[in-house]
Amino acid sequence: MKKIAKTEIGKFSYFFPCQATIVTSHYKGKDNAMAVAWHMPLSGDPPLYAVGIAPSKYSHGMITGSGQFGVNFMPFNHAELVAATGGPSGKCLDKFDAFMLAKDPPLITDVPILSAAYVAFECILEDSHVHGDHTLFIGRVVAVHQAPEAFNEKGQLDMKRVQPVLYMGSDRYVKINRYDINLFDRKTAADNLIGKKNNDG
């Protein structure tokens, strides 16, 4: 592809789409849920997971105050629900009541686990760092809630049964109703490309 190179970045959103989650929190007797697309694993042992949240968000204060958060991975048929939790502030609206968010009991923390999630993490806050306009909250995963039917025998998400919700940026979420699934493992892909290069040469 021919590209246009520039040093004035503008709105930084070129990495979208990416998977959207709902981050849940509980503080002083109140629950909150917020759509979060900026999240990532940091370590497998110990299991650490991070979410990026702007200080202006209601969830930011709840996580800071409680030292806990939940990360809920939602199937694509709940894309509208994910989008809705990214809208109004939990300061002004009880999202669990307004959006009829069903929840399962947590095992260790006080954070709500969404019943509709195909997998969810309970996290205890280990550390936090401010980077630019977001705070990176780093949590130790202390419990995992998993729907067995969503995963194959290798523990991988079964994309024929569950497709995750994607965030496109600019407050837009997407669900994909049908697509072909092609899985590539790293070694086979590398071998195939090397073989193709040798054959072409």
In sequence order, what DSSP letters do the residues of 13-28 get, joined into one string?
-TT--EE-EEEEEEET
154 part of a folded domain:
yes
Does any domain span residue 39? Answer: yes
Which of the four pLDDT bands, split at 50, 70 and 90, describes residue 137?
A: very high
28/110 Cα distance (integer angstroms): 10
- The CATH number of whichever domain residue 188 belongs to comes to 2.30.110.10
Q: How confident is the model at residue 188 (pLDDT cuts 50, 70, 90)?
A: confident
Nearest to 58 by CA among 94, 9, 84: 94
Tell me what the mean pLDDT of segment 23-27 comes to: 97
Note the pLDDT tens digit of each residue in 84-112: 998 888 888 899 999 999 999 999 999 99
In a domain, 12, yes or no: no
Rounded Cα distance between 183 and 18, Å, is: 18
- pLDDT at residue 200 tops 80: no
Task: Tell me if 7 is assigned to some domain.
Answer: no
User: Quick one: what percent of the chain has pLDDT higher than 90?
Assistant: 57
Distance between CA 28 and CA 58 in Å, rounded? 13
For the entire predicted model, the pTM comes to 0.86
> What's the pLDDT at 47?
97
Lowest mean pLDDT among 55-64, 146-155, 184-193: 184-193
Q: How many residues does the chain have?
A: 201
Q: Has residue 115 been placed in a domain?
A: yes
Count: domains in the chain:
1
User: In this structure, is residue 103 part of a structural domain?
Assistant: yes
Domain span including residue 141: 18-200
Is 27 part of any domain?
A: yes
